[in-house]
Amino acid sequence: MVNPGNFFIRVKPEQGQTTIKYSPEYQASEIADPNLKFDLNQSQCLEINWFDNVEYHYKFELKEPIKGRYNWYAFQGHVEIDNDETEKKVDESGVILNVPYFPQNDNTIRPFQTCNMTSAAMVVEFFYPGTDAHTPGQLEDAMTKYCVANWGYDSIYYHPHIVDTLKHWNVKSTFNTTTPFSKIQKHLDSGKPVIYSGKFTNSGHIIVLRGYDSTGFWVNDPWGEWFSWGYDKNAPPNMNKGAKLHYSYQMMGRLSYSGSQTGWAHLCEKT
């Protein structure tokens, strides 16, 4: 089994169209139930979590379900699988910012609760490189201490206090709970990252948006990589599972607090 992270399955150019199905044991024409097969054409590109080789087929798990199913099979002769680097070369639209990655999992203060300050720290380090290196301990821990010292233990959960904490580190944040994805894209086009809050966990979670393309946002997720079943969390020896990920617009819309094309977002810039 290959667990690639950001891979995509598509129809080969010379094939034109194929049918993915629930089992490799049957021809598509032999499957009567329309919910157990799906016609895939060249205009479609499906993001997958992993794939395996089974009886001349690829077995794969979709990042987003089709007809209520995540697991499908495709005949290997009809499809190809590309990684995220290939996808970036194919799609020339959008932008990717070189935002540094910090995992929250190694924070010395409340590592299970500090996605907020860890995301804020990535943005500070992006605008002011070297801040982390010149901060005793970790920058994200220092930001958590500052926020709690000024506004109390629970203050890190409140977006106005995230704004206040960023201001102390000379970053201006404009926060809105109904920020259109189009406005986020324009902000990224201007070379500035975005802090984004969504329903990635039961209690909510915060990540950094560092770019976009025609299919989704490029993100730094401080906890690891999100899947439909939960998180593949950062853990030694790999503490960078959440770095440079691609989250589709469909997924982001489904996990948004405010709608399929809007979200809770901090538009950040230097002061």
Give residue-wise pLDDT tens across range 185-225: 999 999 999 999 999 999 999 999 999 988 899 999 999 99
Domain with CATH 3.90.70.10 in the chain: 95-270
Classify domain 95-270 at the CATH class level: alpha beta
For residue 161, give Cα distances in angstroms to 138, 250, 270.
19, 30, 17
Task: Indicate the CATH number for domain 7-89.
Answer: 2.30.30.40
Q: Which residue has the tokens 């690891």?
A: 224
Answer yes or no: is pLDDT of 88 > 50: no
Output phi, psi for 213, to 5 deg.
-140, -160
Domain with CATH 2.30.30.40 in the chain: 7-89
| pLDDT band, very low/low/confident/very high, at 80 (cuts 50, 70, 90) | confident
| pLDDT band, very low/low/confident/very high, at 85 (cuts 50, 70, 90) | very low
What residue type is assigned to position 163 of the chain? V
pTM of the model as a whole = 0.69
- Whether 215 and 249 have beta carbons less than 8 Å apart is answered as yes
